[in-house]
Amino acid sequence: MTRPTMPNEYPAGSFDDVASMVPSGLLEDLTSAGVAFDTSTVARADHGRDWWPLSIPDVARGRVPRWPGVVVRPTSSDEVGRVLQCASKYGTAVTAQGGRSSVVGGAVAPEGAVALDLTGLNRILDIDTVSGLVSVEAGVFGPELERAVTDEGWTVGHFPQSFALATVGGWIACRGAGQYSNRYGKIEDIVRGLSVVLASGDTIELGGRAPRQAVGPDLVQLFVGSEGTLGVITRATLVMHRAPVSERRAAFGFANFDDGLNACRNIMQRDARPAVLRLYDEIESKRSFDVASCALIVLDEGDHELVDATMRIVQEECASATRLDPALVATWLEHRNDVGALAPLWERGYVVDTIEVAGAWASLSPMRDSVIGALNRLAGITVASVHQSHAYLDGACLYFTFAGHPDDDVTGFYRRAWDCVTREVLGAGGALSHHHGVGRNRARFVADALGSSFGILQDLKRLLDPDNIMNPGVLGLGGEPW
């Protein structure tokens, strides 16, 4: 399989050889431990970035903001343990990496760090078609996993926008959500067991005994969303669903975004769970579908009787809306993972990004109004828009997009946009992130977002990573935030 690439590539001849700053003893110990590594300039430059949009102009200019000291490619949990033992001995930071599809800088290895490339852990270990479980190593990419289980008549049902770019370990570490999550659940609903290597090099096994157990707190969930700060996920057991045999699609146009939100809320609170239930404001509806209303696209799949019942509820709750061509769903499916325009925009001086948050139904309309208003008041903003992408009984995810063309100070403009959105979201009682995670970009907000519970997270970090080598700075832990 051809591995996916980053949004843009360094120009040829961007930099001369830059010496690795890791201790020579660390490289000698890695050699003795039988672990493959790479200190070449090209490999280290590439592993010093992920899909964080702020890195795009750096790459275009041939600039490497942070040089990892060494790229290590283990092929087993045992090798991961040996790497962490070596890194602990020298106090060298370690950043676990998969497809490096993080858009918030979570997989950016800091200066002089070990870039721990886990894509060598690429085996699908077992598919249990009786229990509906698949055991897989953390470095397996989404398409490889889905092909394997589809051949057996099943689906994991986890289809994030980064499906072709991200690994199973990345899904779990960043607490991701797939585009069909209303039907299949988010990654925290899908994972049943984990193998995790701690900073000490010890491997622990979590969960995996049953669908649920009442044996103290759920320690699996401690590492779901931990973003490589507490340990390295090397293996996961995931629950599967039978492959769908039926699919139906529909599209509707609402006069305003609030009417569409109310329809989505009523659908979910009637316990209908269409796999896709996405509502777009006027700006995004025009841009994506050439529709002069707020477009709602709906897709459901599964057993035909369940799909029919779900779509009847959808139609009832959307009775006051305008019926749109169901082909709009095909338009979304065709373009849903297309991010090809991102790099050219940044390289032309535009600043573009998305910010996904979440809130209770009662807070979503005022939150949307305050965020869009705050963005539009920001000097240099050219567009601010929103859609609703994941829904629940009690609330939903709002996914904001902003673009601007500052005369200078691209980084300052980018930071101000994130600051103003986050201030409004937290002020409205919303969640800092819904599924992209925290990374480095949001690290400065975590203490405010978690409030009095942030100290517990800090205590866990000190307990599990006393030498502070695990992805320092991410999640607001163990290092200065960006």
pLDDT in tens, the chain (482 residues): 555 578 899 998 888 888 888 999 999 999 999 999 999 999 999 999 999 999 999 999 999 989 999 999 999 999 999 999 999 999 999 999 999 999 999 999 999 999 999 999 999 999 999 999 999 999 999 999 999 999 999 999 999 999 999 999 999 999 999 999 999 999 999 999 999 999 999 999 999 999 999 999 999 999 999 999 999 999 999 999 999 999 999 999 999 999 999 999 999 999 999 999 999 999 999 999 999 999 999 999 999 999 999 999 999 999 999 999 999 999 999 999 888 889 999 999 999 999 999 999 999 999 999 999 999 999 999 999 999 999 999 999 999 999 999 988 999 999 999 999 999 999 999 999 999 999 999 999 999 999 999 999 999 999 999 999 999 999 999 888 78
Tokens of 118: 């886990």
d(CA 59, CA 66) in angstroms, rounded, equals 12
Angle of helix 361-376 relative to helix 257-269, nearest 10 degrees?
A: 150
Q: Three-state DSSP class for 429?
A: coil
Domain 246-335 has CATH 3.30.70.3450: yes
Q: What class, spelled out in words, does domain 124-242 have in CATH?
A: alpha beta
Q: Which residues are within 8 A (CB) of 74 and not within 5 positions of it... i.e. 6 or more apart?
A: 35, 36, 80, 82, 83, 116, 118, 120, 121
How much is the pLDDT for 396?
98
d(CA 188, CA 191) in angstroms, rounded, equals 6
Amino acid code (one letter) for 186:
K
How much is the pLDDT for 282?
98
CB 122 within 8 A of CB 168: no
CB 137 within 8 A of CB 235: yes
Report which of 424, 452, 425, 438 is spatially closest to residue 481, judged by C-alpha positions: 438
Amino acid code (one letter) for 139:
G
List phi, psi (to 5°) of 122: -125, 30
Write the DSSP assignment of 305-366 as a string of letters: HHHHHHHHHHHHHTTTSEEE-THHHHHHHHHTT--TTHHHHHHTT-EEEEEEEEEEHHHHHH
Looking at the domain that runs over 342-433, which CATH code has it been given? 3.30.300.330
How much is the pLDDT for 305?
97
Helix (H) or strand (E) holding 237: strand 232-239
> Would you say the pTM of this structure is higher than 0.85?
yes
Fold for domain 24-120?
A: 3.30.43
How many CB atoms within 10 Å of residue 34? 10
